[in-house]
Amino acid sequence: MDYAIDIKEQEALVRLTGRLTFNDHAKLRALIKEMLQNAAKRQILDLANLEFVDSAGIGMLLIAREELSNLDKQFILRKAGGQVKRVLTVAQLGKLITIEE
Amino acid sequence: MVFAWSRRKAETVGHGQMLVPVRCEPEVVRDAEPPTIDYQLLGQWIGFADLQRHTMEVLRSEIERTSELVEDSTLDLSRRFRELAETAREQSHRVDEIVAMARFVEIDGIKVPLDELVTNMQQIIGEMIANIVNLSKKAMSMVYLLDDVQKDVTELEKSITDIDGINRQTNFLALNATIEASRAGEAGRTFAVVANEVRTLSKTTSALAQRMRDKITAVVKGVRQGHDILRTIANTDMSPQMLAKERVDKTMDSLVDQTNHFQTVLEGTAASSDELSTVIGRMVTGMQFQDLTKQRLEHVADSMTVMSGGLEDLVARTRAAIPDHIEIPFPQEWIDQLLGRYTLTEMRQRFVRRLLLEGTALDEHGILDVSTEPTQSSGGDVELF
């Protein structure tokens, strides 16, 4: 998995590409740290180019949400498709994280 | 000539009252010459009337046979229809039972409605997935925690190494102090004791650092192993199991749809069976036409008996009235016409037998060559010509 952050005032747009699996846990931790440190109130994860997510990936997204929430930052998942969208739906992540089309 | 119908007692046949034509001669012809009587024509009439009488008797017996046949067949048909109606009712009951059962699934002897079962199953799977998600999050938190612990432990190892360095330096200083103290002689004696104590302290610290290093090494080993195990756990992807919910949901939906479809079809079948049994009931009622038919045919047969009796009486009286030498011709032509119309062999044979009893010759029709036994074909002996 790779990511790119684009910060515009109150909004940080993070584009994820590739596959988000357990092997990316160090990288995702670094991303969470960046999201915690930047000034934007809304942290948006663009998942349009994310091909796959495993159960560890779901766990990491929940950790990100928890840590951002502790700093009163909004965490949003956007444009999920394919397997990613199916897993998010089945896991009912929408109950915990704002999911946008 | 004018005829009127007058009622008089039948003498020859004794079939109650009957109507016979009585000639009423008008006043104007009373004084005229008596008309000449054509005895030949009367002879012909006797022959024909005889044939007519026999034919009527044959027909009457045919009507009676037919009436019996219709009665037997109708009773048989009614019985079968009633059986059919009963079967249809039973079928309807059975289908009703199936419909009632189709809504439920029996689990441990308890009937659970299918929709409730599906909801329960979906809830269970939902909870299972929620647990997987929760565990994944906990496992990842743990992984991050142990990542940090590993870093801290490495720091700790480094600190112990630092303590070792300090210790070596302290030991070296204490050794130097001891040397310097012995060089100072008596004046340095007290200092030598202190320097010695410092060396002892340094050795103790070194032993402590070593013990700490041993323990820390054990902790690091444990943490690394735990970390590895946790990685294996966290690295086990459960997303396929989560996605299995999609398949289960679809299967459950299909199951419910299919059951609903079966139920609709079965309800339709039960309704059809009910309707069938009602229609059959009406058919059985409708078969009472046979009673009416029987009565009518009895009337027809009775009338024919009366007419036959009348004919017999008239033939006897006419025969007595004409001279003996007058020939009474056999009405061959009419017989041929009649027989030509009988397409049922059996009926034709009965007709011929009846006439033969009267001693007439009908061999030219070759009817008696045919066996009088009914034909082999079972059921109605209908022959098509």
Closest in A25, A55, A92 to B143, CB measured: A25
Confidence of residue B367 (pLDDT cuts 50, 70, 90): very low
- As a whole number, mean pLDDT of residues A28-47 equals 95
| A63-67, B135-139, B280-284: range with lowest mean pLDDT | B280-284
The minimum CA-CA distance between B274 and chain A, rounded to whole Å, is 47
Tens digit of each residue's pLDDT (9 = 90 or more) over B92-108: 899 888 888 888 888 89
Tens digit of each residue's pLDDT (9 = 90 or more) over B24-51: 555 555 566 777 888 888 998 998 998 8
Closest in A25, A53, A91 to B140, CB measured: A25
Q: Taking the CB of residue B109, how many other CB atoms lie within 10 A of it?
A: 5
Alpha carbon B32 to chain centroid distance?
89
Confidence of residue B142 (pLDDT cuts 50, 70, 90): very high
B235 touches chain A (CB under 8 A): yes
- As a whole number, mean pLDDT of residues B70-91 equals 91
- Whether residues A29 and B147 touch (CB distance < 8 A) is answered with yes
Which of B230, B242, B247 is the best substitution to test chain A (most A C-beta atoms within 10 A)?
A: B242
- As a whole number, mean pLDDT of residues B143-149 equals 91
Domain layout of chain B by residue ranges: 129-236
- As a whole number, mean pLDDT of residues B166-174 equals 89
Alpha carbon B197 to chain centroid distance?
105
- Whether residues B235 and A23 touch (CB distance < 8 A) is answered with yes
Confidence of residue B357 (pLDDT cuts 50, 70, 90): low
Higher pLDDT pick, B385 / B304: B304
A60 touches chain B (CB under 8 A): yes
The minimum CA-CA distance between B122 and chain A, rounded to whole Å, is 11
A21 touches chain B (CB under 8 A): yes
Q: Which fold has domain B129-236?
A: Helix Hairpins (1.10.287)
Candidates B330, B313, B320, B360; CA nearest to B44 is B330
Question: Among B35-39, B112-116, B128-132, B159-163, which range has the highest average pLDDT?
Answer: B128-132
pLDDT of residue B359: 47
- Whether residues A91 and B133 touch (CB distance < 8 A) is answered with yes
User: What sign for the dihedral angle of Cα B129, B134, B136, B139?
Assistant: negative
CA separation for the pair A33, A45 (Å, rounded): 14
Tens digit of each residue's pLDDT (9 = 90 or more) over B178-233: 888 888 888 888 888 888 888 898 889 889 888 988 988 898 899 889 888 988 98
Confidence of residue B145 (pLDDT cuts 50, 70, 90): very high
pLDDT of residue A30: 96
Q: What is the mean pLDDT of chain A?
A: 95
B133 touches chain A (CB under 8 A): yes
Closest in B132, B141, B245 to A55, CB measured: B132
Amino acid (1-letter code) at residue A85: K
Confidence of residue B332 (pLDDT cuts 50, 70, 90): confident
Candidates B139, B167, B165; CA nearest to B229 is B139
- Whether residues A92 and B129 touch (CB distance < 8 A) is answered with yes
Residue of B nearest to A23 (CA): B235
Closest in A23, A53, A63 to B239, CB measured: A53
Judging contacts by C-beta atoms under 8 Å, the chain A residues touching residue B238 are: 54-55
pLDDT of residue B30: 55
A40 touches chain B (CB under 8 A): no
pLDDT of residue A56: 94
- Whether residues A56 and B245 touch (CB distance < 8 A) is answered with no
Alpha helices by DSSP H, chain B: 39-102, 114-183, 189-234, 239-286, 289-321, 332-341, 345-356
Tens digit of each residue's pLDDT (9 = 90 or more) over B5-24: 444 433 444 444 444 455 55
Q: How many structural domains is chain A composed of?
A: 1
DSSP per position, B95-124: HHHHHHHHTEEEETTEEEEHHHHHHHHHHH
Q: Taking the CB of residue B352, how many other CB atoms lie within 10 A of it?
A: 22
| Residue B138, C-beta contacts closer than 8 angstroms, at least 6 positions apart | A59
Which of B136, B232, B243 is the best substitution to test chain A (most A C-beta atoms within 10 A)?
A: B136
B239 touches chain A (CB under 8 A): yes
Tens digit of each residue's pLDDT (9 = 90 or more) over A2-36: 999 999 888 999 999 999 999 999 999 999 999 99
Strands B17-23 and B3-9, how do they pair? Answer: antiparallel
User: What sign for the dihedral angle of Cα B247, B252, B255, B261?
Assistant: negative
B83 touches chain A (CB under 8 A): no
Residues forming a β-bridge with A2: A17
Candidates A96, A18, A35; CA nearest to A71 is A35
| Residue A27, C-beta contacts closer than 8 angstroms, at least 6 positions apart | A1, A3
pLDDT of residue B127: 94
Q: Are A77 and A61 in contact (CB under 8 A)?
A: yes
- As a whole number, mean pLDDT of residues B314-329 equals 89
pLDDT of residue A97: 95
CATH number at residue A69: 3.30.750.24
| Containing structural domain, residue A76 | 2-100
| Residue B143, C-beta contacts closer than 8 angstroms, at least 6 positions apart | A25, B227, B230, B231, B234
B211 touches chain A (CB under 8 A): no
Which of A19, A20, A21, A22 is the best substitution to test chain B (most B C-beta atoms within 10 A)?
A: A22
For helices B345-356 and B332-341, angle between their N-to-C axes, nearest 10 degrees: 150
Amino acid (1-letter code) at residue B14: G
Q: Detail the DSSP E strand segments found in A1-101.
A: 2-8, 11-20, 42-53, 74-78, 98-100
Q: Are B249 and B197 in contact (CB under 8 A)?
A: no
pLDDT of residue B370: 45
> Looking at this predicted complex, what is its ipTM?
0.94
- Residue B133 pLDDT greater than 50, yes or no: yes
If 0-12 CB within 10 Å is exposed, 13-18 middle and 19+ buried, where does residue B207 land? exposed
- As a whole number, mean pLDDT of residues B359-368 equals 46
Q: What percent of chain B has pLDDT over 70?
A: 84
Structural element, H or E, at residue A60:
helix A55-70
pLDDT of residue B184: 86
Judging contacts by C-beta atoms under 8 Å, the chain A residues touching residue B141 are: 59, 63
